[in-house]
Amino acid sequence: MRSCALLLLGLTAATAETFFQETFDSTAKWTDGADKGKFTNEAGPHFGDEAAQKGLKTSEDAKFYATSAPLAKEFGNKDKDFVVSFTVQHGQGIDCGGGYLKLLPTVSAADFNGDSEYFVMFGPDICGATKKIHLIFGYNGKNLLWNKAPRAEEDKLTHLYTLVVRPDNTYEVSVDGEKKESGSLEADWDFLLPKEIEDPADLKPEDWVEEAQIADAEDTKPADWDLATETIVDAGAEKPEDWDVEDDGEWEAPTIPNPEYKGAWTQKKIANPAYKGPFVPKKIANPEYKEDKELYLASKPVGTVGIDIWQVKSGTVFDNIIISDSVEEVAAFNKVNFFAHQAAEKEAFEAASKVAADAAAAAQAEESAEEEGAEEDE
């Protein structure tokens, strides 16, 4: 049995295929769109290994960016897992901008833009209060938004985003190797019309009672409720000394709200014994629903990977892109290219943060000392 298992594992590994991988030792594969923001090929401000963590970095503020690279060959994902993974570092402290990839059919760099048809758009999107992971699928000419909105990482460190789409129409999204979301494609996107709809023939009965509360018929208004008027004469008011009857007319004391006044009386409410709740028609099978067992399947072979984003503050670094049908191959790639540098990058970031904090504290202390000296001189 053990030999059979090893043979099966070997066959699985032999049939696995990686279609694209990029660690940005150079940017030779990539072509920028015309009149777009410029990318540079460098590491972000925090790294464990600067050479190994070079990536594609946005370098101009308040710009649209578009760049794309062709896959070595087109691929389809029929009956196979589809895995895409990449890293993003917002070392600039992003305020508003995208950090996602698009996977799309073969398209020339000159034609790649925000309107290009795509199979998947995946990655973080941060702008103001919006801090979420985008996962959008192209399906029958429509771009379907995720019905979930897991939070994207917003610190200044590098983070690893991984998507797995399986031929059983399930998916999983992880960040830094930890699962963020998973589930059914049909349940979490509006690929299809609902299986059931409300029965249009099931109408609300005329005697259906939807009022949850009614007036208490036994609650009667107290006999003394209306004895007090809404306002009373202000007994403490005095006629002004300069009041002139001929010019001002007869003086009358002003009125003030009566503290004894109780307002309009209303019966108290009680639970309605006839209440049936909101009427909801019964469900029936939707005659327009059509099952699709291949929601996971790209409608056209994937031949291009692209970055199409807007950024207010530049400095985002894209790196370590891999597209494969093997979860294991992607994991091995990420072990070398992300996890191997994660701890050292965090240490470098914390050290730089401490230096910056110490410098700020010293500057504040110097400013305070100068202010105290100026006060003494006065």
Q: Residues 196-211: pLDDT tens digits?
A: 999 999 999 999 999 9
**Selection from 8-22, 258-272, 299-313 with the highest mean pLDDT:** 299-313
Mean pLDDT on 62-70: 97
CATH number of 16-192+295-359: 1.10.287.70, 3.40.50.300, 2.60.120.200, 2.40.50.140? Answer: 2.60.120.200
Quote helix, strand, coil % in the chain, to nearest 5.
Answer: 20, 35, 50
Residue 9 has pLDDT above 50, yes or no: no
Distance of CA 38 to the CA centre of its chain: 26
Handedness of CA 363, 364, 369, 372 (dihedral sign): positive
Which of 189, 127, 170 is closest to 152 using CA atoms?
127
Question: pTM of the entire structure?
Answer: 0.79
Which of 132, 95, 136 is closest to 316 using CA atoms?
95
Q: Can you tell me which residue has the tokens 């208004």?
A: 221
| 375 band by pLDDT with thresholds 50, 70 and 90 | low
Q: Can you tell me which residue has the tokens 């053990």?
A: 2
| 378 band by pLDDT with thresholds 50, 70 and 90 | low
Q: How far apart are CA 119 and CA 136, in angstroms?
A: 8
Q: Can you tell me which residue has the tokens 């007994």?
A: 235
State the chain's mean pLDDT as an integer.
91
Helices (H), 50-92: none
Q: Could you tell me the two tokens for 310?
A: 């807007």
Residue 136 has pLDDT above 50, yes or no: yes
Residue 11: per-residue pLDDT: 45
Backbone phi, then psi, for 310, in 5-degree steps? -120, 140
Which helix (H) or strand (E) is 349 found in, with range? helix 340-377
Mean pLDDT on 316-327: 97
DSSP secondary structure string for all residues of 241-259: TT--HHHH-S--PPEEE-T
Q: Can you tell me which residue has the tokens 């994991």?
A: 331
Query: Is the CB of residue 100 less than 8 Å from the CB of residue 353?
Result: no
Distance of CA 55 to the CA centre of its chain: 24
Residue 6: per-residue pLDDT: 37
**Percent of residues, the chain, with pLDDT higher than 90:** 78
Task: Give SS3 for 217.
Answer: coil
How far is CA 232 from each of CA 56, 224, 227, rounded to the nearest angstrom? 78, 17, 12
